[in-house]
Amino acid sequence: MIKVVVKIVLFAAICLGGILPANAQLVKRRKLSVKEQLSLERQRTDSLSALIEEYRIREGELQEALQKKQEAEKYQPKPLFTVNYTPEHADSLAEQLKVEQVNKAFQNFFEEYVCEPQTLVSDTALDSLYTSRLNKLVSPIHLPYNELVRSYIKRYTDSSGLMKRVLSLAQYYFPMIEQELLNAGLPVELRTMAIIESALQATAVSRVGASGLWQFMPVTARAYGLEVNSMVDERFDPAKSTVAACKYMRDLYNMYDDWSLAIAAYNCGPGNVNKALARTGGNPKSFWDVYWHLPRETRGYVPAFIAASYAYAYHEAHNITYSEPPMPIAVDTIQVTRLLHLEQVSSTIDVTTDALKLLNPQYKLDVIPATNKQYTLVLPTNRITEYISHQDSIFAKDSTYLKEYLNPTAVQKKIAETTTTYRVKKGDTLGAIARRYGVTTKQLMTWNNLKSANRLSIGQRLQIRKR
């Protein structure tokens, strides 16, 4: 403050020095008396004092205003981010936010269960521990414990890597599944159904033809609004098939008013459950009352559901770790209103065809057949703006990528070339079949939901894809 005042005084002195000599010239014609000189000096001093005082007042006012501003800013909310960014930057921020939200929600579920290390020396201790943990999973769906459930818990928590793969995929699929369950007013614990149906493999196909996350047969899928034809199979669409599964599970629950029976009916159909109820006699009220009258596969279905629920909740207690999912977690959708090949997109913007197939498995020939209605294209969130800005360039590639698909005859030929069915004969091995069709044993196991490469049955049908 003193330095500022000194500078002001010097500046004032220079200014006055430029003015006073002019007055002095007026009196230079005659010699000034001592009295007049003293009067002139007094005027000079008064002027400097007045100027200094004025600047002191101004400096004080500025300091006071600055202090008030700083005090006011303490109570003003600071902006979280500025708006000086490009649309691409906005997409990137949206992607980052989505990933953080999903990761936080995914972790919070498991952090609710603090599992201390324990040394278990007997089955009795193990049974007590499993029972205690299941009792803590309070749910509208009853999760009882018994020896059968224990056998499935061991299966889901062993070293096979199943739950590791499931947990990885759950980061992508479970937020969407949970949202649809909540929208339908169903218990979120039913998400575990997708684990025991498909191990969260959106392209899973059973040996009898049930397909997708929720393993719909074609008739049931169409009954619940899913499109199944040569170009599109919405059983493989994670979002739409989940909506259909929620409707189906709601109908089954309304039929039985018991979740264990509804879950069993999802596996074997309400007809088989109704026959089991009739054969039991009395007044059966749950899955356990009709257990011995159900198909053999269904007897293990509800225990598997309980065990998978346990393994999902308590995976950390069994040292099960997981990695990032193979697809981007943050995604968004574009509505497509004209014929489009996925490679038109991947060849134009920064996203691979493999990523597009993972996100859009319902398009059997990698073609979105949007001629009479619109279809959904799922993209990574950070590529939405890029797609929109390059849309004209994408659709300009029709003649390059859609030539063979614009002819209906060519489409049918392509379908025949893409998928075939092989009936297993005596002496066949999975490796020999794979070599015959130029695919891998692992692909055959994935396409047909086979758990072992050494278990084939004569007459068994194998789906073989060539993509």
444 in Cβ contact with 417 (< 8 Å)? no
Tell me if residue 30 falls in helix, strand or coil: coil
154 in Cβ contact with 326 (< 8 Å)? no
168 in Cβ contact with 322 (< 8 Å)? yes
Look up 197 and say whether it is catalytic: yes
Q: CA 297 to CA 273: how far, in whole Å?
A: 13
Q: Which of 197, 343, 386, 417 is catalytic?
A: 197
Q: CA 410 to CA 276: how far, in whole Å?
A: 49
Q: CA 44 to CA 59: how far, in whole Å?
A: 23
320 in Cβ contact with 157 (< 8 Å)? yes
The counts of H helices and E strands in the chain are: 21, 6
Residue 294 tokens read as 């159900």
135 in Cβ contact with 144 (< 8 Å)? no
Q: 168: buried, middle or exposed (CB in 10 Å: 19+, 13-18, 0-12)? A: middle
The closest of 60, 57, 59, 45 to 12, measured between CA atoms, is 45
The closest of 422, 448, 423, 464 to 206, measured between CA atoms, is 448
217 in Cβ contact with 209 (< 8 Å)? yes
CA 260 to chain centre: 29
Q: CA 69 to CA 49: how far, in whole Å?
A: 30
Tell me if residue 423 falls in helix, strand or coil: strand
Whole-number Cα distances in Å, 65 to 2, 17, 61, 334, 420: 19, 33, 6, 53, 82
Sign, Cα dihedral of 370, 376, 379, 382: positive
Cross-strand bridge partners of residue 464: 420
Question: Which residues are known to be catalytic?
Answer: 197
